[in-house]
A and B are shown apart, each in its own frame.
Chain A
Amino acid sequence: MEKNYLNWKKGLLSWLLTRDHKRIGLLYMITVFSFFFVGGVFALLLRLELFKVGETIMNSAFYNQIMTYHGAVMIFMVIIPGIPAFLGNFVLPLQIGAKDVAFPKINLLSWYCLIVGAGVTLLSLFLGGVDTGWTFYTPYSIETNTAVIPVVLGVFIMGFSSILTGLNFIVTIHRLRCPGMTFFRMPLFVWSLYSTAIIQVLATPVLAITLLLLVGERILDIGIFNSEKGGDPILFQHFFWFYSHPAVYIMILPAMGVISELISAFSRQKIFGYKAVVFASLGIAGVSFFVWGHHMFVSGQSEWAGIVFSFLTMLVGVPTAVKIFNWVATLFKGSLKFDTPFLYALGFLFLFLIGGVTGIMLAVLPFDVHVHDTYFVVAHFHYVMVGGTIMGIMGGFYYWFPKMFGRLYNELLGQVSFVFIFIGFNVTFFPQFILGMSGMPRRYADYISPYEPLNQVSTVGSWLIASGFVVAFFALIWAMFKGKKSSANPWGAKTLEWQTSSPPPHENFLKRPVVSKDAYE
């Protein structure tokens, strides 16, 4: 049998102590999908509770906890590590012709940070749970007698995972490109990871100090976020969103990178306006640091700040629209192949467009004041994060699946599960726009009866999504072990990772690649 990175060494320890970026990528794969399952079960429980007016399956205190864990698990354990640490780890060195990332040991350490951080966070489940919402807003997070400290410390530790991955990627991209791989020959996925890594490195430390201060509030009562002691709870929101808004782009930029790869590969075209997409990625990363105040339009920040943040936020729409135009232009000239990864790319375009346009609506100050903290916002960010990031993860996973395992997935099952997920997603979240417009507040365990019919539609949608993922899960597990053998380049794609065998050998390429053309030529 041919030697590759999967059978290069055997035994559990050879995985747990590996420094191979491909194996670490697969460790992240298992981790991210496990947490996706956990967060998904929480989501199903929430939707079930909201199926009917009144208490359905849980009391409201428990609902608050489930809602907090759904958010925290999905954000910090699934969406943030999802594309960079899982797909990025596997693909990035291959795409730039490197043998590994710059710091393989730190790469492994970052996976352990995620595991330990997630463990500490979830440990709180057994210490009474936490009910603050994933944003940990003060003063409530100081006053509640639930287990805030382990959750916050866990997120702090997971932050290191994110920082170390970002740092590793920046250095890898700067220092380990193979001969001939100039910056403007890099695939757009690499550029998106680069933009993401800048945010990870620059924004996450601010979250770290914010969370430390919150722990300080709870243990030492330091008063910096406590108005009784002269402090200011709004400062917490500023600090938190200074990280967490850019973090939205940690979630979406890599998905955009995946979509660029998919659209190029399945329309058999080079990306229209390559450089424009590159600068759009960097532009989004840059602007992302100056828009955090749009989360605080009604928090009591000054009106002037609100107006400035409103305009700055709309600016994000410009580079985003550039990308969407370029993707559509690429499709326009291409000969399309409707395989599962491409379906996810189309799903992304459709859903992300809705998520993006409603984002611009929310950036408009007076409109936001009207729908602030309603289900309109919930629907908006699910269209961005699920419709964007999860579509990106799934599309990218199907696309690189043959490279990872050297086997093909079942196309029919892939398409069936996509249809369930895509339709289920819209059935779940589109009604929430309407609910939000008609005033249903978010985060509550209950609602008044006029909201009931649309909530029932939404809950049924969540079952459709779940069915889709169940089909996808079993089909992919089966394909991993029993699928048909794949050739090195089943899609006829142009980027470097398809030039080596599937699965790749231990150090990626048997012969050092030398590049003499652009990424998609």
Chain B
Amino acid sequence: MSAKIKITVNGVMHEAEAGRNILQILLDLGIMLPHFCYHEALGAAGACRLCAAMISPGAGKPARLEMACMTRAEDGMIVDITNPQAVDFREKLIEELMLNHPHDCPVCDEGGECMLQDMTVLCRHQHRRNRFPKRTWRNQDLGPHIHHEMNRCITCYRCVRFYRDYALGDDLGVFGSRGRVYFGRMRDGALVSEFSGNLVDVCPTGVFTDKHFRAVYCRPWDLQTAPSICPHCSVGCNVLPGSRHKTLRRIKPRRNHTVNRFFMCDHGRFGGGFVNADNRLTSARFDGAGMSLDDAITQTAERLKEIVQTHGRGAVAAIGSPGASLEANAALILLMKTLEGRFAFFSTGAERAAHKRAAALIANGQVDTPSLPEVEQADFTLIVGGDITREAPMMDLAVRQTIRAGAPLFIISPQAGKLDAFAKAARHAALPEQAAIVSNIAQALDHALMTGQPDPFAGAAASALATAKRPQILCGATGAGGIALVDAAHSLVAKAVRPERPCRLVYWFPAMNSFGISLARNDESPDTIKQDVENGRIKALTILEHGASLDSEWPDDSKPMKSCFTIAVDAIAGKAATDADAVLPCASHYETFGTVMNYEGRAQRFEGLPLPRPVTWSSAEVLLKLIEALGAGEAINRTEYHDLFEIPATMSSLIGTLAPDSEGLLIRSTAAVREVVG
């Protein structure tokens, strides 16, 4: 916490944090001083010159017109944003920015959420005096996601400051000079950055807009939105999907200062297609016959009862989903408890072991897991166990912030990745071999100061790790890397930790709620369930939301489970649902509410968009209906999260109270609840 200073704004004294600029302070105080180029993540540039205010260094000292974003706040400063000279300056500034603007708001996608519109109105510019021709530009085809309309540009440089400076991309740039500054690519072509969609948000006007949204456009004020969590990886970015006429139109990042803050990756932003997909399951089916969901549930319950009566305990089983909420997986476990059945998660036993070990280390507080903003602060990073650019893109963006600060990066990955370009050294090895390389680093750490390491990569990584002040290791917890890699990373961290210097450790997982299901009590290895399905011991198998977990390897089509009665509770007609004997359609991720746990074990609550008819229930609700139809509805009310998952009882009750706009709840078994807000 930095020191406090006092500054006077429009005649009122405020306390503020020292070392920040005046504009930051005003915005934090809720005082809207018009601005364009300043952005909380991108910082101040001083380019737009809109944030002008009269600023005096102190009482009795003359005030001058200054840019608030370029002025470091000092104790005693007096700021007046209402002074006529400042007001007039800002109005003229907008007049200048509008000289060449096409004034095409009626046909512009940004209209209704355009910062330029807002600032123009706020600065009360309304009369156009320019009688000379406007500048016009040729637009570029920037690929499938981003539409380009350069005439609207107000040259705030935010796009390149994000794309190049912040996200370290190099295929979007600024060209030309004077009144002819162009933002685009050298030539037409798809933007290659994983984070290109953020251009839509950082651009204060309609130069970069979302092509997918354009295709099914509606005014932003006509969107229905719900605070949600991105389902595509274990980072758990907070997002705001918007729908109209019960179809998903777009996804935007939602601010959360402990997770993704301002941005999100393209995979998440443009990966909402499953909601409106043609293969969306909309009607229930039982033994090949279409019917209402209620009837299908009734019939399914009857069939399950029969099977249990005929074959006894253990004849029914279920496979949960890392792509489904804690609530949905809990309902599945309850269903199995009702039927005295068995259940598993994950696609392999090795994956289960790796996940459970990693989750336990985090939940038990044995490792110090950084949040994304904390990942950005590290001064040494070792990435092992996968390609975070693809598997946890926003963590890649966080690592890029360490690179910008000059921190060394070491990578051990199965194949070349995009971050290699920024790494001090990158080593490519198959996942099962990576644990050995990590152990080499741990060994080299013992004599980090000795030269002539047998493994130069390990030696270099170890000596950089030895001298870092805030090192971190990011390790993929996967089936292929196995528990050996999880343990190797943990041992390395244990060795690197010194009393005065923590060494942080991230385990990232393949899916949104991998962490949550890793805490399940009494689950079996998927390998034994798989075996027993194949050898006919299991007579009924319930599969939860597998259509959405795209990377899942099992169950698959290659081994038709003929002898087994399969029930798919799913939103999407994926592999599992196509062959199922009973299909019970449910809401997709963005239409449902629930709780998921990200890689940190941060429980986050999300809400749902309106459901598309004829789907009426979430998967959790479908499963609970099924339990009711089995006559076991009572048990549901008595069950708590900690009955089913390794969650401390104190936290169990808090999960239900989480608000979607809170910082969530870090699941830790020993430590006190770290953060609960809202």
The answer to whether A and B assemble together is no
Residues of B within 8 A of A (CB): none
Residues of A within 8 A of B (CB): none
